Structure formats: structure tokens, C-alpha cells
Amino acid sequence: MRKIWWKILCIIIIFYVIVMGFMGPVPHLPILNETIRNTYFHVALWLAMTTLLLAAMIFSVKYLMSGKIQDDDVASELTKSAIFFGILGCMTGSAWANFSWGDPWPNDPKLNSAAVSLLIYLAYLLLRSSFEDEQRKARISAVYNIFAFAVFIPIIYILPRLTDSLHPGSGGNATFGSFDFDNNIRKVFYPAIIGYILMGMWLAELRIRIKVINRIREEELIVKNN
């Protein structure tokens, strides 16, 4: 029963976000109207994804420092849940764009760089699958993961701001927090981020446990055969 509290917290927060996200009061803005509720899903998913990728990068650094295979398991599984969130973030963003910009995939620098960053991390998965030896796989993919994160941050958060984008924070559009972020939104938005991060950790944790069990079973098999 140890460490179960955060799973319960995660479920409670997610339900809170779903209920309050669809029913709670939101400011009425022109063009956005009710689609502003997508802030709780789309924006929060991207922030959760970035946090998970940051955590994955930290674990990759830890792996290179210590050489413990467990750190690499954590890094790779966190990255996988981050990719999952990234795909969800793309889909929710697409749904939002369809209603507020009139096109599911407008030619916007931020959208394109989101697609590129997903490609970078899918390439990470491909790289992982092309090695047989565990330690070698772990070391090389850790190197790539750090490199990928260092490219990911400029692609997503810096380069789109230099050009015109439909997203807030670029091309003369104001960032969040400056005009439309009233307290009603904050009350759901911040818990949403925490909830998604917890969910990502939960997903990663389950997969790590499967990995550990498989590794132990393999080792037992080897011992038995010898």
C-alpha cells in the first residue's frame, strides 16, 4: 500500500479537471467562446509533456553519471508517456484550431515545430529499438535523449516566438497571464498540469515495473538453462 496516495490524488485531480473543465465558469471572449475550455486540455498537456521530457533528460544524465540501468528504464518510459501526451496535445490542438482558426492544421510555425519535435522523439524510439545489447542501447540513447531535449526547447519555445504565429506569445499576440487568464481558469489549469504529470508518471511506472519483471524472468531463465 505504500506510495499509493499520489495515484488517488491523480484520479481525483483528473476527475476534477474533467468536471470543472466542462462545467465550470469561464470568461466569455470573442472568437474563442466556449473553446477556451480546451486550455485545460491542450495547453496543460503540452506543459505536462515538457515536464516529463525534462525529467527524462535528467534521468538520462543520471544514467550517464552512474551507469545504473534502472535510470535508463525511467528515462525511456517517461519519454514514451511524453510522446503519448504529445500526440494527445496535437489532437486536442487540432480540434481547437478547427473551431477558432477554421483549419485543423493551419500553416503555423508552432504547429510545424510540434510535429518536428514529435519526429525527433519517434526517432529516439527507433534508435532504441536498433540495439541488442542493453548497456550499449542505454548509453547511446541517453546521449541522444539529452541532445534531443536541447534541440526540443529552442524548437518549441524559442524559434516560433521569433516569427509570426497564431499562438499566444508570438507575432504581437500577448502571452498567457496577461489578459485572458482570470482566476476561474487558474483554478482548473494548474491542477490540470499536475494531474497530467501524475498520470504520465503512473503510466511510466507501470511500464517500468513490467520491464523489471521481464528482466528478472529472463535472468532466471538464463540461470535455469545453465
Partner 1 sequence: MNEIKTLIWKEVTLEWRQKYALSGMLLYVVSTVFVCYLSFNLRRNQLTPIVWNTLFWIIILFTAVNAIAKSFSQERYGRLLYYYSLCSPQAIIISKIIYNSLIMLLLSCIGFGFYAFVMGNPVGDIGLYFICILLASIGFGSVLTLVAGIASKAENNATLMAVLSFPIILPMLLMTIKLAKNAIDGLDRSVSTDEIMTLLSIDAIVITLSYLLFPFLWRS
Q: Find the shortest distance in angstroms from Cβ 192 to partner 1.
A: 28
Cβ atoms 200, 74 nearer than 8 A: no
Residue 121 is placed in which grid cell? 522523439
In terms of residues, how long is the chain? 226
Q: Find the shortest distance in angstroms from Cβ 64 to partner 1.
A: 5
Angstrom distance (rounded) from CA 155 to CA 127:
21
131 binds partner 1 (CB under 8 A): yes
**Residue 153 CB contacts under 8 Å (≥ 6 apart), including other chains:** none
1 binds partner 1 (CB under 8 A): no
Q: Find the shortest distance in angstroms from Cβ 20 to partner 1.
A: 37
Q: Find the shortest distance in angstroms from Cβ 62 to partner 1.
A: 12
135 binds partner 1 (CB under 8 A): yes
Report the candidate in 109, 209, 220, 94 with the shortest Cα–Cα distance to residue 159.
Answer: 109
Angstrom distance (rounded) from CA 136 to CA 38:
42
Nearer to partner 1, 163 or 184 (CB): 163
Q: Find the shortest distance in angstroms from Cβ 69 to partner 1.
A: 14
Q: What is the DSSP letter of 2?
A: T
Nearer to partner 1, 97 or 155 (CB): 155
CA Rg, the chain, in Å?
Answer: 20
Residues in 92-121 that interact with partner 1 by CB under 8 A: 113, 116-117, 119-120
146 binds partner 1 (CB under 8 A): yes
Cβ atoms 124, 140 nearer than 8 A: no
Q: Which of 151, 174, 212, 221 binds partner 1 (CB under 8 A)?
A: 151
Helix axes 69-100, 42-66, angle to 10 degrees: 160
36 binds partner 1 (CB under 8 A): no
50 binds partner 1 (CB under 8 A): no
Angstrom distance (rounded) from CA 114 to CA 222:
43
66 binds partner 1 (CB under 8 A): no
209 binds partner 1 (CB under 8 A): no
Q: Find the shortest distance in angstroms from Cβ 86 to partner 1.
A: 13
**Residue 72 CB contacts under 8 Å (≥ 6 apart), including other chains:** 59, 60, 63, 138, 141, 142
Residues binding partner 1 (CB under 8 A): 64, 113, 116-117, 119-120, 123, 126-127, 130-131, 135-136, 139-140, 142-144, 146-148, 150-151, 154-155, 159, 162
